């Protein structure tokens, strides 16, 4: 059984983007990477990933939320992870555990950046049910 999945990663931090790409590739998946919300949106116009990992703050403070919303409008079944350092940078805390948060944050999981490789792999496998 082929479990190789297409995972879309959008982050404007080139170091974080490369790290996530390495992790995802090490997990045996295809990493499709873009460095901006605009590029991610363009990809989603004609492609459906199996899972997406979005940074929160890119061109705009809510770029990741916008990408999540657009992806879920078109492909509601595709899991979305928001990976961000917003709490460390601003002190603002987000989550997707409360119903009110889920109603406007169209993500399935929220992770703080600098996530460990084993933790990311576990979360991806859980969301993809593999």
Per-residue pLDDT, averaged over 98-108, amounts to 59
d(CA 59, CA 14): 14
Q: Token pair 């499709």 is at which residue?
A: 32
Map out the domains of the chain with their CATH numbers.
Answer: 6-125 (3.40.50.2300)
6-30 confidence digits (pLDDT tens): 999 999 999 999 999 999 999 999 9
pLDDT value of position 101: 47
Q: How confident is the model at residue 102 (pLDDT cuts 50, 70, 90)?
A: very low
pLDDT value of position 86: 56
Structure tokens at 97: 């555990």
pLDDT value of position 96: 46
DSSP letter at 9?
E
Mapping DSSP to helix (H, G, I), strand (E, B) and coil, where does residue 96 land? Answer: coil
Degrees, nearest 5: CA angle 73-12-102: 35
């Amino acid at each position: 059984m082929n479990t190789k999945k297409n995972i879309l990663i959008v982050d404007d931090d080139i170091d974080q983007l490369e790290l996530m790409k390495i992790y995802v590739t090490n997990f045996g998946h295809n990493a499709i990477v873009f460095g901006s919300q605009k590029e991610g949106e363009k990809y989603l116009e004609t492609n459906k990933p199996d899972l997406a990992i979005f940074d929160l703050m890119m061109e705009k403070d809510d770029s990741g939320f916008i990408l999540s919303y657009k992806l879920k409008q078109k492909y509601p079944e595709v899991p979305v992870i928001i990976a961000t350092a917003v709490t460390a940078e601003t002190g603002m805390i987000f989550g997707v555990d409360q119903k009110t948060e889920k109603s406007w944050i169209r993500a399935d999981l929220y992770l703080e950046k600098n996530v460990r490789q084993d933790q990311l792999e576990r979360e991806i496998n859980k969301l993809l049910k593999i």
